Structure formats: structure tokens, C-alpha cells
């Protein structure tokens, strides 16, 4: 195929050729830019101690990731959310155990890295990552929440965590939750030199107040999972919540049961069944 080129003066022709060459260079650069950006993103490696929105980035040792999931007694039926998911290792490990897991991470480069790590691990369908602010994230769909944040951040999150469904498990690497004491605490010693303690909280049901228990008044005072009070005029003892499960002793009789909103029911040792309704 031949292309007819109209006659041009030599100077014009040279200028046109230069413009065409420049356009070709710019076009090639424009095509190369996305590839270069993708290659740069692929090469991204976080550095320990780098700045983040609320905390610096320090990865949780894999042995502690495993311990945190073990303490939460995760099952494939659980939905896990990791707050400040970093390179994605907790979410990916949970997905490898069959869970549906999501990481919330403010740094988009870490989110992209986590997605690549999940694909390489073969769990990209169950391990997802969102670039978001953890304080603006809906936590209500999670059965298990994991995090490696500072105590000040944990305490800021605490009111929202306490509003989650009773029985929701919250596991933190090292940092505590103020005066909300953990239900369990374990430290790993193998393959871990720093940040090696896992802390577990189980969101308790809300039972503060008066209940009618088979014609008697049960008055409960609640401090997170710990309880005190009286059944009638007799003080209760050894009283606490484990999510929606309640247990207390009255005059040597051990009561165990389950809280279901405005009702409770269960067994009293040696006395059969008992039930209660909010007064």
C-alpha cells in the first residue's frame, strides 16, 4: 500500500517529521508509564517501623498469628476481620484455615501487596483487603476481630467492640484494652522475640439490672464480663459472662445458662431448670 504525501517545503517537512517523532516518543512513554507503575507496585516492600495512620507498621510474628487464631477457636464458619492488616498474613492464615477473612488497611500499597500475597497463597477468593480507616469500618459482620494496635487505639475502639454481638471474639497482639481485662492471655516462646503475647476478649451480653427469676428478683451489677449482685437477699458469687453464657453461684447452688436478649434460661445444679425475664 502506498501513501501519497503532499509536497511541502523542506523546512515544513523537517518540522513535521520532528513533531511526528516527538509524538511517537510521548506515545511510547505514555504506554510505558502504566507498566512502570505496575512494576514499581509489584516491587513494593514495606519496612518495619514505617509510618502509618495510627501506628507504625510492625508485622505480627507468624507463630503469634497462629496462637491468636487458636485462642479464638476459629472455624470455617467464622468471618474474620483484621484491623490494620499490614502485609495480610493474619487474613491469609485465616483463609488457609477455611475462614472468610477481610483485612482493613489504610495504606493502599500494603493493600495491593496483601492481595498479591493472597493470590500467591491460593486464597484470593476467601482473603480480601480494603483500603479504609478502621474507625469508619462496620465491624458488625465479624465473628472474630484481630488487631495489632496500640492500647490507646484499642481503648478508642472498645465502645464499638462492646456493641458487637455477644460471643464475638477479639484478639490483640500484646496491647490491652484498658480496664476491660482479657478472658485469656498466652505468650509464645518459640520463633518469637518481641510482641509475643496474645490477648483474647469475648464480647459479653448486657445483663445489668433487675431480672425476675421464678418469682425472685435477681439484681445484677456488670463490669464487662464480671458480675456481682443478689438473688433475693442472698449475694451471688463467682459470677461472670462468657459471651452470652452466664454462670453464678447462690448459697452453694451453681446456676448456668444462656442470655437471649431480655430472657435467660438454664440449669441450677441439683434443682433443675431456671428462667429469668427482665423486670
Show the 3-state SS of the chain: CCCCCCCCCHHHHHHHHHHHHHHHHHHHHHHHHHHHHHHHHHCCCCCCCCCCCCCCCCCCCHHHHHHHHHHCCCCCCCEEEEECCCCCHHHHHHHHCCCEEEEEECCHHHHHHHHHHHHHCCCCCCEEEEECCHHHCCCCCCCEEEECCCHHHHHHHHHHHHCCCCCCEEEEECCCCCCCCCCEEEECCCCCCCCCEEEEEECCCCCCEEEEECCEEEEEEEECCEEEEEECCEEEEEEEEECCEEEEEECCEEEEEEEECCEEEEEECCCEEEEEEEC
Q: Mean pLDDT over residues 255-261, rounded?
A: 98
Predicted local confidence at residue 144, as pLDDT: 98
Q: Under CATH, which number does the domain 50-203 receive? A: 3.40.50.150
Quick: pLDDT tens for 58-79.
Answer: 789 999 999 999 999 999 999 9
% of the chain at pLDDT higher than 90: 77
Predicted local confidence at residue 221, as pLDDT: 98
Predicted local confidence at residue 27, as pLDDT: 54
Predicted local confidence at residue 22, as pLDDT: 47
Domain with CATH 2.40.128 in the chain: 209-278
Domain with CATH 3.40.50.150 in the chain: 50-203
Class of domain 209-278: mainly beta
Residue 17 has pLDDT above 70, yes or no: no
pTM above 0.85, yes or no: no
Amino acid at each position: 500500500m502506498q501513501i501519497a504525501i503532499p509536497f511541502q517545503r523542506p523546512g515544513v517537512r523537517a518540522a513535521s517529521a520532528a513533531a511526528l517523532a516527538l509524538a511517537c516518543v510521548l506515545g511510547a512513554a505514555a504506554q510505558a508509564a502504566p507498566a512502570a507503575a505496575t512494576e514499581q507496585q509489584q516491587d513494593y516492600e514495606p519496612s518495619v517501623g514505617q509510618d502509618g495512620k495510627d501506628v507504625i507498621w510492625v508485622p505480627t510474628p507468624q507463630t503469634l498469628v497462629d496462637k491468636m487464631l487458636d485462642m479464638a477457636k476459629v472455624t470455617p464458619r467464622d468471618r474474620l476481620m483484621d484491623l490494620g492488616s499490614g502485609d495480610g498474613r493474619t487474613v491469609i492464615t485465616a483463609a488457609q484455615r477455611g475462614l472468610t477473612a477481610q483485612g482493613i488497611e489504610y495504606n493502599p500499597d500494603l493493600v495491593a501487596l496483601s492481595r498479591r500475597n493472597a493470590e500467591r497463597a491460593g486464597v484470593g477468593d476467601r482473603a480480601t483487603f480494603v483500603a479504609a480507616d478502621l474507625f469508619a469500618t462496620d465491624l458488625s459482620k465479624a465473628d472474630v476481630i484481630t488487631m495489632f494496635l496500640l492500647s490507646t487505639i484499642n481503648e478508642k475502639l472498645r465502645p464499638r467492640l462492646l456493641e458487637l454481638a455477644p460471643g464475638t471474639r477479639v484478639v490483640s497482639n500484646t496491647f490491652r484494652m484498658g480496664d476491660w481485662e482479657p478472658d485469656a492471655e498466652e505468650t509464645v516462646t518459640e520463633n518469637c522475640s518481641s510482641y509475643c503475647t496474645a490477648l483474647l476478649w469475648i464480647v459479653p451480653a448486657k445483663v445489668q439490672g433487675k431480672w425476675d427469676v421464678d418469682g425472685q428478683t435477681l439484681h445484677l451489677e456488670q463490669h464487662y464480663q464480671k458480675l456481682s449482685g443478689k438473688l433475693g437477699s442472698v449475694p451471688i458469687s463467682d459470677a461472670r459472662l462468657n459471651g452470652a453464657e452466664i454462670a453464678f453461684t447462690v448459697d452453694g447452688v451453681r446456676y448456668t445458662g444462656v442470655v437471649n436478649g431480655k430472657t435467660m434460661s438454664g440449669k441450677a445444679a441439683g434443682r433443675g431448670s431456671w428462667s429469668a425475664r427482665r423486670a
